[in-house]
């Protein structure tokens, strides 16, 4: 917290902080790549008021009827072992007692071990944490600065949803397995290496979890090593003695092997330590002993995070991280493609021309497609479908945009463009499947399954729609985000396209329920454009209730 000072002192203090910000910017500017943040539990405690690990276990132990001290004594104070003992005690009552019915229903089909009950209750607690997100005052101001930092990505051991809320354009990888077996690009991404509350069984919480995590650490380190040697790494929310930090650095050091390579980490590792009592920021060089090696780090002690986040927000970048990640993904796919002739254009060289003297222009897509259609996103089509616009050529959307967008998983509205391109029969099926890309055909064939009621919520939805069989009644009985999940359970023909359009445009959700909101946009797309093409021939353009907000605008509220 900033101190109350006289005017003269405030001026002097402002000058000190300005010098600090500039010095930090100048230091980070010496690296070719933007920083990576490594975010620890201190950030979640600061902005969401969440428990520390010990506090979380105290909370969970209270569910078992035995005091926390019993588990602590049984485990000799070892926190992962304490978690294991609590998990074992909670398993039987959690699966049979009525007081846990709501959590059981929420995570139905997602829990597969004797430790899952513990993790489900931890996830339930964490899922509600955004309710405490500050909306005004100094902490809210810090968060606004954090939202706008220039970083290539985030690594975190936190389970809660704060980071994906602050960086909604970043792709999230959950756990070691996703990092190891999917294709992270190293930019515009969040690596939740200890799991996420959205997938309870992914949480690294118990002794078994930590043993398995450490067993796989060398593989994780191999994935992260390039990040650590190419980017400045800024640790926020950790102490130098944090076991999670030691685990990460130990894995990296094991990969680097020699003292000469380890020395290359000098000036790259920056620990930001928040201490409310300090009057001005200080910097110091220190080392962390890891496996007999001295890992050099720069420590920065600050009274708050304002100046650190301000300095990070003033770094220069030519393109947004999201765009750079998309470009890297496309290049990666081109390299893997056996025959990229429809996606890659190569200009022939003049006879005798030295390739080293040629200016290379790189683009994604064949040369005639380097237009807005090559860059269309799922959100562009969602906006176009919801507001009934005619801004895009439907044939080009079907032929050029949809195959590229559907390369990635997720729900995409397709029927508006298939209908306008005369590719649908009267029942909404494809009139000639051979005329569309296989990805478009597969997406159309899976429509009913994709936008139907999730398996884990069928019981709840069936009960709700029995007493609330229309959209209006659902809206009266449920919260807006709950309505999104109940809509697919309504009887066929009871939801009009106009009513669904009005609801979706009025109630754009936060990131926690955005996936389901998109599914319902696809249901609207089917009702409006797919179900009866001939009937729609003379239909007037629908009225827009409200344009959908951008992700960043929603996240900033």
Q: Count CB neighbours of 453 within 10 A.
A: 18
pLDDT given at position 457: 83
pLDDT at 42: 92
CB atoms under 10 Å from CB of 223, counted, come to 17
CB–CB of 110/128 below 8 Å? no
**Phi, psi of 234, rounded to the nearest 5 degrees:** -110, 115
- Structure-block tokens of residue 19: 């010098």
Identify the pLDDT of residue 359: 52
Pairing of strands 153-156, 171-174: unpaired
DSSP letter for 424, please. Answer: B
Report yes or no: 162 and 41 within 8 Å, Cβ to Cβ. Answer: no
Give the chain's residues under pLDDT 50. Answer: 1, 3, 5, 9-10, 334-336, 341-342, 345-349, 364-371, 533-557
Q: What are the structure tokens assigned to 64, written together?
A: 């078992």
Q: How far apart are CA 522 and CA 386, in angstroms?
A: 10
The whole-chain average pLDDT of the chain stands at: 82
57 contacts 79 by C-beta, under 8 angstroms = yes
Q: How many Å separate Cα 125 from the centre of its chain?
A: 19
The per-residue pLDDT for 125 is 95
Cβ(48)–Cβ(130) under 8 Å?
yes
pLDDT at res. 547: 38
pLDDT for 536: 42
- Pairing, β 36-39 against β 153-156: parallel
Structural domains for the chain: 33-50+134-323 (3.40.50), 53-129 (no CATH), 373-555 (no CATH)
């Amino acid at each position: 917290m900033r101190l109350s000072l006289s005017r003269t002192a405030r001026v002097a203090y402002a000058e000190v902080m300005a010098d600090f910000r500039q010095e930090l910017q100048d230091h980070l500017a010496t690296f070719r790549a933007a920083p990576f943040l490594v975010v620890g539990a201190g950030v979640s405690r600061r902005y969401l008021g969440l428990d520390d690990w010990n506090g979380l276990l105290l909370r969970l132990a209270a569910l078992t009827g035995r005091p926390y001290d019993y588990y602590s004594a049984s485990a000799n104070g070892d926190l992962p072992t304490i978690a294991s003992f609590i998990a074992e005690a909670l398993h039987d009552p959690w699966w049979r007692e009525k007081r846990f019915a709501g959590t059981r229903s929420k995570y139905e089909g997602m829990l597969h071990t004797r430790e899952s009950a513990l993790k489900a209750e931890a996830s339930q607690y964490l899922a509600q944490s955004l309710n405490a997100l500050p909306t005004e005052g100094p902490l809210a101001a810090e968060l606004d600065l954090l939202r706008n930092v220039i970083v290539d990505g985030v690594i975190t051991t936190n389970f809660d949803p704060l980071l994906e809320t602050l960086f909604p354009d970043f792709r999230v990888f959950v756990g070691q397995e996703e990092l190891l077996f999917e294709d992270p690009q190293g930019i515009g991404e969040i690596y939740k290496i200890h799991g996420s509350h959205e997938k309870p069984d992914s949480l690294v919480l118990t002794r078994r979890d930590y043993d398995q995590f450490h067993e796989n650490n060398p593989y994780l380190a191999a994935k992260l090593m390039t990040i650590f040697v190419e980017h400045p790494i800024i640790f926020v929310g950790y102490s130098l003695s944090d076991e999670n930090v030691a685990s990460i650095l130990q894995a990296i050091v094991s990969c680097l092997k020699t003292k000469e390579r380890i020395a290359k980490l000098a000036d790259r590792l920056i620990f930001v330590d928040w201490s409310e009592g300090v009057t001005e920021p200080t910097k110091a060089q220190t080392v962390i002993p890891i496996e007999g090696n001295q890992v050099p780090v720069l420590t920065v002690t600050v009274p708050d995070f304002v100046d650190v986040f301000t300095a990070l927000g003033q770094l220069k970048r030519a393109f947004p991280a999201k765009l750079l990640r998309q470009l890297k993904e496309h290049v990666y796919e081109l390299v893997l493609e056996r025959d990229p002739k429809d996606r890659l254009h190569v200009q022939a060289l003049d006879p005798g021309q030295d390739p080293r003297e040629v200016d290379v222009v790189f683009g994604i897509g064949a040369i005639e497609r380097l237009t807005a259609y090559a860059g269309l996103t799922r959100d562009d089509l969602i906006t176009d479908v919801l507001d009934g616009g005619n801004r895009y050529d439907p044939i080009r959307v079907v032929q050029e945009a949809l195959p590229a967008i559907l390369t990635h998983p997720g729900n995409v509205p397709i029927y508006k463009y298939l209908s306008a391109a005369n590719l649908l029969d009267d029942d909404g099926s494809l009139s000639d499947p051979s005329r569309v890309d296989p990805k478009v055909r597969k997406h159309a064939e899976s429509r009913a399954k994709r936008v139907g009621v999730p398996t884990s919520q069928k019981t709840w939805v069936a009960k709700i729609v029995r007493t609330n069989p229309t959209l209006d009644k659902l809206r009266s009985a449920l919260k807006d985000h709950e309505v999104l999940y109940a809509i697919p359970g309504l009887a066929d023909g009871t939801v009009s396209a106009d009513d669904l359009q009005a609801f979706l445009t009025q109630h754009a959700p936060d990131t926690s329920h955005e996936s389901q909101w998109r599914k319902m946009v696809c249901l609207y797309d089917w009702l409006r454009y797919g179900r009866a093409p001939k009937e729609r021939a003379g239909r007037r353009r629908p009225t827009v209730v409200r344009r959908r907000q951008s992700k960043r605008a929603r996240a900033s509220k």
